[in-house]
Each structure stands twice: as structure tokens, then as C-alpha cells.
Amino acid sequence: MTVLDFPSRERFARELRRGYDIVGISFITPNFVKAREMARLVREISPGTEIVLGGHGAAIEGVEELIECDHVVKGEGIRWLRRHLGQNPFAPLVHPSLPSTERMSIFGVPLLGNTSSLLVPGVGCVNGCNFCCTSHYFGLRYTPFLGTGRELFETARRIADERGTDGFFVMDENFLKDRERALALVEEMEREKRFFRFHIFSSAEAITAFGLDNLVRLGVTMVWIGFESRSRQSAFKKNVGIDGKALVRELRNRGISVLASGILCMEHHTPENMPEDIDYLVELEADFVQFMLLIPLPVTKLYREHQHRGLLRDDLPFEEWHGQKELVSRHPAFSAPEPERWIEKAFAQDYSANSSSMLRVAETSLRGYERLAAMPALDECLDTRMRNCERQAREYGLMVPVMARHAVNELERERARALEARLKRAFGPRGMKEMAAIAVLHALTLRWKLRVRLLGDGIQPRTIVTRYPAGRFEAGLMAEAEPPAPDAVSAA
């Protein structure tokens, strides 16, 4: 069995010529055209091969008539595929060892070391927000792949040993919702004296219930929170009673970066009241902010409601269902070109008010270090977390003088200089090696700015190839990466 992530058209075709009984294409709705082209290539090159469609794109109504295929798998597909192959659908799962990201860089400056690994503890979410395709796609329930703290720990340890990094990006819609499992993972790490770092998704109510100090012990370095909106008309249960600004502040004080996600052009929004929600998200002062248009993706409750009311547009191709340009539904308050302008305005407002995200992340790391360093005594777990904050603050801190030179406005320049002074107080004056490194970083940043001006900021990831020997699964099998090709077709 072979898995290709982000194959180019040529690379995918070359793999097809090896001869396969089944080809599975996992895709999201905006990648509809890519999935259709991949299916066409299968029929052209290997006409006897079965085509199985899966992923969130499989929720598109009538997708089996739109893309050439033999089967469409909706929801969790591991057990379906095992049944299809005549295997035991409930056999133990072995998590693959994969990178979670293609590259790490700040302003075009590459960060050294291995990228974080991917960890998928389970799929789905019981919260059932009306717009959430993840929650609805998996039947408004959570299906765990790693059901206990011990299973999480053993899987993380194996992958960390194989890839040489203790950092993980956790693909789980609401990781802290299972509070007992997450606490058990903390206990396992402390007992084994092996401490991992995690980037997670979680709702505000689950974070509050888990406890912010527990997040530090767990090793969470970034959390993605759906704040969505402050408006009374769109109050989601997960945010009821939550002081968003206070929550973000306390998380950042603990060295935990926050990505705050919000939705624009919701049903109650008008040009008069939407600035209130933009102001709210900007005033959270999170490290990152995602502004997304309201998109009723197939399978969601919102999609069914808009379909019933005759609001869905039939003139918008699926590749535009990404939430950063046009609305999928007709909105009485916004004409077709307006949503994109609102999105651009919101991002510009956040950047102007709060400065670059990497400056915020550097400050968050320092805040976490300062808090832990001020404590009278630290156990081994917290000492490890303090050293992690220190390492990240020092590493990102090298970019602070670069940020000051290329600041978006005078406010960012002042913040960068103030942060530089705090770094000096915390870690002492910079040595010759650090000063030399900063000079190199300036040069690399200028090179990146030139590249963006001439070629844009698009980056095609390399193809990740993972091969599993027929008839058996080797837990330690590693993925290999191939360089990108100009005609890349992603099967994400």
C-alpha cells in the first residue's frame, strides 16, 4: 500500500503506472477539481482500478455523479476500508509517523530542526455547531483512535523517537473535551519523565474546564479557539459565560500562543454591525486571528437550512468554497464583491493594531518563561516547560530586531524595541554569535521580500510518499519526501 500526500499530476500518474487494485482519493470541498482530475487520470492510466472517494469532499451531494468513482465513503473510513478488503474492522490501529508541516520559517528565514509530527487521537466533536463540517460529518459524535492517556503517550513516544522531535500538531477538533484522557496523558508524561509539546484545537469551555495550569503541564504551546462572534444573535454554547479577552491574556501569560477564529458575514451581520465583531476579535489580542466567511459546507445543519430556504448559490464553483473570498449563500446585506473586502479589512485592522503574529508569539514565549522563572520552585515537568519557553523566546527573539526594521507601523517598531529590552533583561546582552546571526537574518528577510514581490508567496509542498509492505504494517515505517513539481495537484 502506498500513500501520496500532495502529489503533482505527473507524480500521481507515475505512481498509477505501478498498478493498483484500489485508489482512494481523500479531498476537501475546495479541492473538488483536483479530485476530479485525479479520478480522470486513474480511469485513463489504470481503467481496471477501483476508485474510492473520501474526506470531507465526499459529503458533496451527488458527488458520485460529478466525479468518476466506484465508492463514496462518508465519515470515518478506516473501518469501511477494512471491511471492503475483508479485514477485521476492529483490529488495533497503528498511527503512522508523519510530519505535520512542510517547512518552518519566519519572514522567509528557515527554522532549523525537524518539523513537528502529526497526531490524530480521534475524529468528530459532540458540540455540533451548526456550521461545523467536522462535527456533522462524523455524526455529531467523537470517535477515538487513541482512547486512553497511555495510548496517547505510547504513540507519541514512538513517533517522537522515529522522527527525532517531541513536538506534535494534534488533529482533533476538540482535544480537551475528553478531560480525563488529557489528564491521564499528563500523568503518563510525568511518571515516565518524557515531556512532549502540543499544538491543539479546543473550545473555550473545554479549555476552562481542563484548567489553564494543566495546559502548561500538558505541554500545550498553541491552542486554536473558535470565538466566532460576540454578537448576541450568534452566541454559541461553547462560549457562553467566557471572558474571551481574559482567557487569551491568561493563556499567553503561560506561554501558550492563541489562534482566535472568527466568522464574518453571518446571517445577522450587516455593514453597520459587523465592525463590532471585528473589533471584538482584534481586541482579544491573540497571537493569530483567523477571519473566515460563513460557509455552509455540505452535510452541516447550516447547509440544510440554507438549502431549504433556497439561499445556496448554484453559480459558485466548489473551488471557491473556502471562506476567504465569496459567500456560498445569498446574503441580503452584502453584494458579491463585498465579503472579500471585509475579510481584507479585518486582517489589516488586526495587523495594524496588534503587529505581526511572530512578534506576538515571541512575546508570548517570553511571558511564559518570566512567569515560570518567577516561581520559587519547579518540579521536573514545569522546569521542562520553562526551558521550552526560554528556547523559543531566544530563537524567535533573534527576529525581533528584524521585525523592528521592517515594522508595519511605528507602533510595531516600538513594541519590537520594548520586547528587545525585555529579552535583554531576561537573558542578558546578545553575544557576537547572536549579533552575526541577526545580520544573516536581515539578509534572508530581504531576499524573501524580493521573492514575494517577484513571484508571490505561494509555496508548493513536497510529495510525501509512505509505503506499507503488502500484508503487514510496520509501525516504525517512515515517510519519505520528494521535491515539489510545478504542476502540483494536491489530494489533501
Q: What's the confidence (pLDDT) of residue 107?
A: 81
- 417's grid cell: 524595541
Residues 2-91, CATH architecture: 3-Layer(aba) Sandwich (3.40)
Q: What's the confidence (pLDDT) of residue 488?
A: 39
Q: What's the confidence (pLDDT) of residue 474?
A: 42
163-205 confidence digits (pLDDT tens): 999 999 999 999 999 999 999 999 999 999 999 999 999 999 9
Report the residue count for the chain. 492
Sequence spans of domains, the chain = 2-91, 105-348, 365-455
Q: In sequence order, which residues have a C-beta less than 8 Å from that of residue 293 and are 6 or more positions away? A: 263, 264, 265, 323, 324, 325, 326, 327, 339, 343
Give 12's DSSP letter.
Answer: H
Helices and strands, counts by H and E, the chain: 18, 16
Q: What's the confidence (pLDDT) of residue 487?
A: 42
Q: Which CATH superfamily is domain 105-348 in?
A: tm_1862 like domain (3.80.30.20)
CA atoms of 439 and 195, how far apart (whole Å): 34
Q: What's the confidence (pLDDT) of residue 410?
A: 96
Q: What's the confidence (pLDDT) of residue 466?
A: 86
Strands 257-264 and 220-228: parallel
| Helix, coil or strand: residue 365 | helix
Cα torsion 110, 100, 303, 489: sign: positive
**pLDDT < 50: residue spans in the chain:** 473-479, 485-492
